[in-house]
Amino acid sequence: MKSKIFFNFLYLFLLLGSCKPAIKNIKPKLVVGIVIDQMRYDYLTKFADRYGKKGFNRILQGGFSLENAHYNLIPTYTAVGHASIYTGTTPSEHGIISNDWYDKYNKKSVYCVYDNACSTLGNDGLNGKKSPKKLVTSTITDQLHLAQNMHGKTIGISIKDRAAILPAGHTANAAYWYDGKNYNTWISSTFYMNKLPQWVTDFNSNNKADNYLNSPWETLYEIDSYENSRSDDNIFEEKLIGQKSPTFPKDLKSLRSKNNNFDLLKTVPAGNTFTVDFAKAAIIGEQLGKSKYTDFLAVSFSSTDYIGHKYGVSAIETEDTYLKLDNDLANFFQFLDRQIGKDNYTLFLTADHAAVHTPAYLQSLKIPAHYLNPERLKNFLSKMTKKYFNSIDLIENISNYQIFLSKEKVESLGLDVHTVAQKLADEVINFDQIYKAVTAKTLQTSHFSSGILNSLQNGYNQKLSGDVLLIPNPATLIRGRKGTSHGSGYSYDTHVPVIFYGAGIKQGVSTKRYHITDIAPTIANLLRIEAPNGTNGIIIDEALSK
């Protein structure tokens, strides 16, 4: 009898021990992807004590934050960043190698989302001739549609066309972007539909943009309290056309006519507020989060980038923009709570790239920084081809820190393309602002497992990229001495926020190094769907509650 009881207990123990815990089926009604254009990671920490409790701090405290997330690719531009976030891979696979690039087959520059086969919806202009056709891999938004047999809705929204189109993917119900100047309309493309929905037409009929531009840009708080930033009047910032100095307040009403009218809205914090207005209208108009399927809303805030370019990392304008964006996010999150339900949505927040401090400002502090003159570089390379190959016609194009050789000219002179490319790579590092140079052949035949050359390799696309790829010195820009830019593989451009929040997300922080390409597979795992077809990122398992 005792032995029978013992074996019964043993059987029960083994049975229970063999049972694996059930996987928690997290199925949010809505996934919201938020990308903040040109947001450095340190904007989270630098302005932390000035943010409220309901914006950035809400998702930082209630979600999972990656404190050491980076782009592992070059170049760090808007189109590349958005494509990499949503595909889970780099330009080597997804094919978006820059915002614009030289098409070596058709011998012309091309724009990442231009599509002549499409027409504009929303006005009679040409800015709707856009589509994601140059993106050659699928996105997480595509995969969600495939997993649900094309049910559910995907909407992409941004002031910039490329920031709306690339995240929304190929199967999107719609992507919308803002056409300013004298149009003042949110537009789309016939790639997605034949007619704008009524809710978009209604939104375009309101006077919100006018209202925003008829109010001055004044700081949220007393200007003397902006101790994280440089003085208001300094030599490192650009001015709006018509301004005597780059200072507050900025009288937008009187300046708009000299600054492309409604385009001025893109370059002030109200552009972010306007984007939230449209995102809320989309959620209501499309009834996102109301069906039995999971919907996806991709929202990108672009005004942060326009403002960053004009004023730089350390400007009061930049700080004020993020303080106001914090309020916009708080407003948006509260709207999601009411409209979708606090436990019914998942979101992630990140950036498409960061930015460098204005090099002229760094130089004033005796920190190494540089400006590269493209014409000087071109002349230098012409001298090299003349010296070693007795020709100044071997280079067809120089752009995006890439050299494209004229294959026809090289071959007509009986030269070998790889020999010419290698000679240029060897010689161009003697140019002042060029730090490293690698040929396409080297990138095809060698593997760089880490560091900036690994990022260069991840950004190299054998079909589309040039014959020699260049890396400038740290803190080097091609532009004037005011404002800033981005594009490099250095940490000031690669280190960005990544925060997950909502249904299926743990509360916590990680200091492990993750890559931007890890977002898409993580969201795919959360949704229990296949990751995008080019994905090479990893699942951030510690962020998920299972």
Q: Which pair of structure tokens corresponds to residue 316?
A: 């009061």
β-strand pairing of 395-399 with 370-371: unpaired
Residues 416-437 have a mean pLDDT of: 98
Cα separation, 46 vs 322, in Å, equals 11
Cα separation, 306 vs 163, in Å, equals 13
Residues acting as catalytic residues: 78
Long-range Cβ contact pairs of 255-258 (< 8 A, separation 24 or more): 256/213
How would you write 53-84 as a 3-class SS string? Answer: CCCHHHHHHHCEEECCEECCCCCCCHHHHHHH
Q: Give the pLDDT of residue 21.
A: 47
How many alpha carbons fall within 13 Å on the CB side of residue 480?
A: 11
Confidence band for 6, pLDDT divided at 50, 70 and 90: very low
How far, CA to CA in Å, does 228 sit from each of 124, 260, 266?
44, 31, 24
Q: Answer yes or no: same fold for 30-362+489-543 and 370-473.
A: no
What secondary structure letter does DSSP report for 240?
-
Name 434's bridge partners.
472
Cα separation, 161 vs 178, in Å, equals 7
Note the pLDDT tens digit of each residue in 358-381: 999 999 999 999 999 999 999 999
Confidence band for 13, pLDDT divided at 50, 70 and 90: very low
Q: What are the helix (H) ranges across 295-373?
A: 303-311, 316-339, 359-364
| Topology classification of domain 370-473 | Gyrase A; domain 2 (3.30.1360)
pTM of the model: 0.95
Number of residues assigned to the chain: 546
Note the pLDDT tens digit of each residue in 149-199: 999 999 999 999 999 999 999 999 999 999 999 999 999 999 999 999 999
Domain boundaries, the chain: 30-362+489-543, 370-473
How far, CA to CA in Å, does 357 sit from each of 21, 224, 477?
50, 22, 10
Q: Is the pLDDT of residue 464 over 70?
A: yes
Could you tell me if 48 and 58 are in contact, meaning their C-beta atoms sit under 8 angstroms apart?
Answer: no
What secondary structure letter does DSSP report for 445?
H
Q: Which of the following CATH numbers is that of domain 30-362+489-543: 3.40.50.2300, 3.40.50.1100, 3.40.720.10, 3.60.15.10?
A: 3.40.720.10
Could you tell me if 33 and 296 are in contact, meaning their C-beta atoms sit under 8 angstroms apart?
Answer: yes
